[in-house]
Structure 1
Amino acid sequence: MREEARNSSPEYFGLNIRGYYLPHTERNAVFYEQEYIEAQKLMRLTNLDARQIRIQDICVFFEETTGQCQPSGGGSNLGNQLIVFRGVSQDDIEKRTPRFLQYITTQREMGDLPDFIEE
């Protein structure tokens, strides 16, 4: 089934995916700098040489049917900001939809909500 899914087009599953490239410009430098800092932290945790870091291009993919977004090549901070910007509806909150759960998890990761574990 995995191979069949890999070889099928997104349209086959009713998905409408759009991708956007975030160019390396002065205006977008903050997003690339954030990813470089995150990559440095990861390299230190894994005892690898931080000089080997090669920053990838940041792309963001949006799926119009489900409303999901996914950054690629880093861009996790940008992806989180997009999730928060998009927000949730009252219906999402009441039904505890995946969109609501993603929203509150992102808010917690960004430090806007307290962690689930009480200290």
Structure 2
Amino acid sequence: MKNLNINFKKKNKARAFGIIGGGDGSTSIFIAKKEEQDKFLSYAAENIIPCNRTFKQLEDYLIEKYNAIPHTLLPHELNILKANVILNRFDYVLDKPLPLGENPTRKELKAYVEQDTSFFQAKEYPAEKLGLEMKAYRLHGIESEISKENKPRDKSQSAVRISSYTDEDAIVEMEMKSEYILIINGSREVSDDLLLYQGVSEKDIKERTNRFIAYAYTLKHMGKL
């Protein structure tokens, strides 16, 4: 079972917020002491019923519920999507520096960053070698609170964007083989809805995967657990 991976991203800026259910993902957004988290996850495991759906079903749901229409990514956007997929799902094809030890010094961290060319390698790696199937959909009229807060009052002040979407549209980027999904300019409500729709498997619950953790905390956030 592969995992749902959903992120938010500010346009032309670093990602502003992320919920990552993939095996690579960080659960640092769940601010809790380990004991408290373990207790909550044990409770969640006892009360959550396996309800997983396929990634194709998720795609169909996106189209049906949100009237998502196919969207053509610009070449640089497609290349960034490919790089993110490789970094998150196929990083074994990359040459990476040796892992840092515990409590690295600033000097060691700096040296690691300087040596790590993973992103550039991922951008150059042929998508065909991994059999990637990348898609994108446009969700008209769905924008994030971040986008609303940063939208200029005077439209004449808007900066020229290099992306191919508008302030009013959310873009959903997908890679079907790895089940990687990225929501750009979308709302928390949409990402929560998609995450809950795909659900979790019995294996996710038993192994406490990041997908299960994201699912459980989303239910808690929504007052359903």
Same fold (TM over 0.5): yes
Structure 1 runs of 4+ aligned residues shifted over 6 Å read: none
Is contact 1:88-1:103 (8 Å) kept?
A: yes
**Cα 1:98–1:16 shift into 2, 3 Å:** farther
Q: Deviations over 1:38-62 (max 9, x none)?
A: 237855xxxxx86369725211123
Which residue matches 2:138?
21
**Which runs of 5 or more structure 1 residues have no equivalent in the other structure?**
25-30, 44-48, 114-119
- Asked if 1:105 is matched to 2:217, the reply is yes
Q: Return the alpha-carbon distance in structure 2 between the equivalents of residues 52 and 104 of structure 1.
A: 41
How many pairs are equivalent? Answer: 98
Deviations 1:10-42 (A, max 9, x none): 444453332111134xxxxxx34xx2xx23785
Q: Offset at 1:96? A: 1.5
Partner Cα distance (2:179, 2:153) in 1: 37
Residue number among 109, 116, 124 corresponding to 1:7 in the alignment? 124
Q: Give the gaps of 5 or more residues in structure 2.
A: 1-117, 159-166
Bigger Cα displacement from structure 2, 57-66 vs 86-95? 57-66
Structure showing greater radius of gyration is 2
Query: 2:152 and 2:219 mapped to 1: Cα distance?
Result: 29
From 161, 176, 183, give the equivalent of 1:64.
176
- Cα deviations by residue, 1:94-114 (Å, 9 ceiling, x for unpaired): 11123212222332343434x
Task: Note if contact 1:59-1:75 (Cα within 8 Å) is conserved in structure 2.
Answer: no
Tell me the TM-score normalized by structure 2.
Answer: 0.35
Identity across matched positions, percent:
29
Relative to structure 1, is the Cα distance of residues 57 and 40 closer, same or farther in structure 2, using a 3 angstrom cutoff? Answer: closer
| Separation in 2, partners of 1:75, 1:63 | 20
Question: Contact (CA 8 Å) 1:22, 1:58: kept in 2 or not?
Answer: yes
User: TM-score, normalization: structure 1?
Assistant: 0.60
Superposition RMSD in Å: 3.1
